[in-house]
Amino acid sequence: MTRAFNFGAGPAMIPTPVMEAIRDEFLDYQGTGCSIIEISHRSDTFIEVIDKAEALFREISGVSNDYKVLFVHGGASLQFSAIPLNLLGLKPARKAQYVRTGVFAKKAEKEAHRYGHIDCLANGEPLDFKTLPEIDESRISEDASYVYMTSNNTIYGTQWKHFPNTGNIPLIIDSTSEILSRRLDYSKFGLIFGGLQKNLGPSGMAVVCIRKDLLGYADAGTPPLLNYETYSQEKSLINTTNTFAIYVVMKVLEWLKAKGGLDAMEKINDAKAKLLYDIIDRSSFYLGVVKNPQHRSTMNVTFNLAKPELEEKFNRLAIEKNLVALEGHRSVGGFRASIYNAMPMEGVQALGQFMQDFEKKEI
Amino acid sequence: MTRAFNFGAGPAMIPTPVMEAIRDEFLDYQGTGCSIIEISHRSDTFIEVIDKAEALFREISGVSNDYKVLFVHGGASLQFSAIPLNLLGLKPARKAQYVRTGVFAKKAEKEAHRYGHIDCLANGEPLDFKTLPEIDESRISEDASYVYMTSNNTIYGTQWKHFPNTGNIPLIIDSTSEILSRRLDYSKFGLIFGGLQKNLGPSGMAVVCIRKDLLGYADAGTPPLLNYETYSQEKSLINTTNTFAIYVVMKVLEWLKAKGGLDAMEKINDAKAKLLYDIIDRSSFYLGVVKNPQHRSTMNVTFNLAKPELEEKFNRLAIEKNLVALEGHRSVGGFRASIYNAMPMEGVQALGQFMQDFEKKEI
């Protein structure tokens, strides 16, 4: 069996050593005679898993004890509803300001409109989301319950390197497609969350870090499984949780810690991204989607071919070289190399070599 | 490696041949070089999986095309919120009638209270939920949006063999702990749902079958990931779904079909339950929790020891015999043998033999 270099945007590649370890104990977890997916979420065995997953997340991210770390149902998208339901009530104006930088930022903004007064603080749509918009900090409103941003935009390949100073207005960050890929100062955020399926594990859940003083403001009609205070009280076990996902997260975080944690991982991720962007920038055959180097994602490298008629051939030959899932998002086309934590440098080098070889032959 | 006979109530045992098949293709699904958990939920490969899971569910259950079959986030508990949000609006009275037969039925009822006028149609609580209450059909209200029942009560070990005639009032069934364990006439239900983690797969999701004419009445504030109409329109792929869970469901349903489907499975389940209840009924050493044979669950066989001081020894010796997770729910104590579809007759026979041997030695 050959494992592919899988550049899919998510559900994405999980480190091969992690996958092998999961496979090897899949029918019998630690001599119990049962799989980790066949035991109670309230068993000592599973409690050890979820506690370890949380402890590793705290250790690796550096998030302080002023924050709760929660494992929540429904992936990032369910948080698009949960965030306004939990946080709009922070202030009587029920107002929030959203930064529109892509499809998922727009979805979150649209969903929030159903619950309060939503203001678009900055809009990248006129630039087709290929450039990050300027944020005018003077427009941040004192009566806003929160400011909302998406730190990495998977579809377009943009990423915020710096965040605005929102003062005492809580800054909410969707970091789904870059969570634990670089060192971030969590103390700047009121809430930071991410779906698991890109850097942390399989799909279906999200991790939410919320500053404790923001708990307790949920609207009366908030379902318990969307209420962060309820998750906090029940230590993420309100009901039967997705035990498999949390178990995989624990394994992935063990791997990430052994790799040297965020400082080491950020260096690797920067080098991986640089390798591809350098090839794109040196070439007129490949056209980078995001022109401004300060706006470029280290997680999703997006590009087109100057000769679009070669796209099918590029993709077919890439697959022959075991470089898979390079197609761009269905809404934009072109190509996208998602190079999350689990993608080894070796895979990026193989892609870089392929791109250069293909260019030489076809130019 | 020895697989235990795992009598846990859930997340529960998954058939060993299914577990082996998942393990064997865990790193490389059908020669793609990627795991099924590492590919896009919108890829052709995964669409084939979810389509097959739905088709098998339809074939095995016999549910007609008048119903949508949906895979939804959050397990059964999130449906406790989703059901009133989707269905109370069916009638202007915003009224629903709940049958109170256990902890989860109560949770569902409590949650519904936040959204409308909720009436307890029948109450098993005064009988400690060990007996099913009588349902007075004449009390079913014409202005009710729905009647809600839990078909199998995992904690106490009760199960409805027949359902009331609710006329034109939609009957909603939580069948989490018995779904696809016996032949049921789905045309009697407006909506029937079940968490996956007992008879269908791993934890974190539920299957919902909803009659199509009940779609479209959700309250305005219903989050999209709780809105059955949105799930219907998006064929369960509103956002990145729990791909692993749906994949395991497909595998479990393939196994169930090969076993002979519901008619065969119901016979096996009846025989498994009879074996244990017969031992309990012939003994004064074991005390069945549910006395009325018509109320006894074929899925969860609950019993106490006449000498409770022997409980610890019973459990310890059972584990030595590879019979695990027999402890009753933390709220009731005693013992509970959960014998879902995946528990082979061989496991039940081993438990029966152990119970008889233990009784002989200790009586």
A2 CB neighbours in chain B (<8 A) are: 28, 33
Is pTM beyond 0.95? Reply is yes
With CA atoms as reference, the chain A residue closest to B30 would be A1
Residue A194, chain B, CB below 8 Å: the answer is no
pLDDT at A10 over 80: yes
Give the distance from residue A165's alpha carbon to the nearest chain B alpha carbon, in angstroms: 30
Three-class SS state of B194: strand
pLDDT tops 80 at residue A1: no
- Report the alpha-carbon distance of residue A11 to residue A8 in Å, rounded: 7
The stretch B270-285 carries a mean pLDDT of: 98
| Per-residue pLDDT, A203 | 98
Helices H / strands E in chain B, number of each: 9, 14
Tell me which H or E stretch contains A355: helix A345-362
Nearest to A304 by CA among A279, A275, A272, A336: A336
B contacts of A10 (beta carbons < 8 Å):
40, 240
Residue of chain A minimizing CA distance to B243: A203
The answer on pLDDT for B319 being more than 60 is yes
Mean pLDDT of A50-75: 98
Task: Give the DSSP letter of residue A161.
Answer: S
Contact B37 A202 (CB under 8 A): yes
Determine the 3-state secondary structure of B11 from DSSP.
Answer: coil
Q: Which of A32, A242, A324 sits opposite B242 (nearest CB)?
A: A242
Inspect the interface and report whether the beta carbons of A6 and B33 lie closer than 8 Å.
yes
A165-183 tens-digit pLDDT: 999 999 999 999 999 999 9
Specify whether the CB–CB gap between B345 and B26 falls below 8 A.
Answer: no
Q: What are the tokens at A38? A: 């066949």
Averaged pLDDT for residues A92-112:
98
Q: Give the model's pLDDT for residue A332.
A: 84
Q: Which two tokens stand for residue B27?
A: 């790193």
Question: Using 50, 70 and 90 to split pLDDT, how confident is the model at B330?
Answer: confident
Which of B75, B202, B225 is facing A37, going by the closest CB pair? B202
Does A64 have pLDDT greater than 90?
yes
Band (pLDDT 50/70/90 cuts) for residue B1 is: low
Residues 38-57 (A) with a CB less than 8 A from some CB of B: 38-43
Band of the pLDDT at A2, cuts 50, 70, 90? Answer: confident
d(CA B259, CA B269): 12
Give residue A184's pLDDT: 98
> Would you state the pLDDT for residue B363?
84
Contacts of B240 in chain A (CB under 8 A): 10-11, 75-77, 195, 197, 203-204
SS3 state at B199:
coil
Note the pLDDT of residue B2: 82
pLDDT score at B333: 86
Mean local confidence (pLDDT), A39-47: 97
Residues A67-95: what's their mean pLDDT?
A: 98
Question: pLDDT digit string (tens) for B168-182?
Answer: 999 999 999 999 999
Q: What mean pLDDT is predicted for residues A118-145?
A: 97
Q: Which residues of A touch B197 (CB under 8 A)?
A: 240
Q: Is residue A335 within 8 Å of residue A328, measured between CB atoms?
A: yes
Query: End-to-end alpha-carbon separation of chain A, Å?
Result: 34
Distance from CA of A105 to the nearest CA of B (A): 14
Helix (H, G, I), strand (E, B) or coil at A82: helix
pLDDT band at A331 (very low <50, low <70, confident <90, very high): confident
Q: Residues A202-230: what's their mean pLDDT?
A: 97
| B239 vs A77, A115, A238: nearest CB | A77
User: Residue B188's pLDDT is what?
Assistant: 97
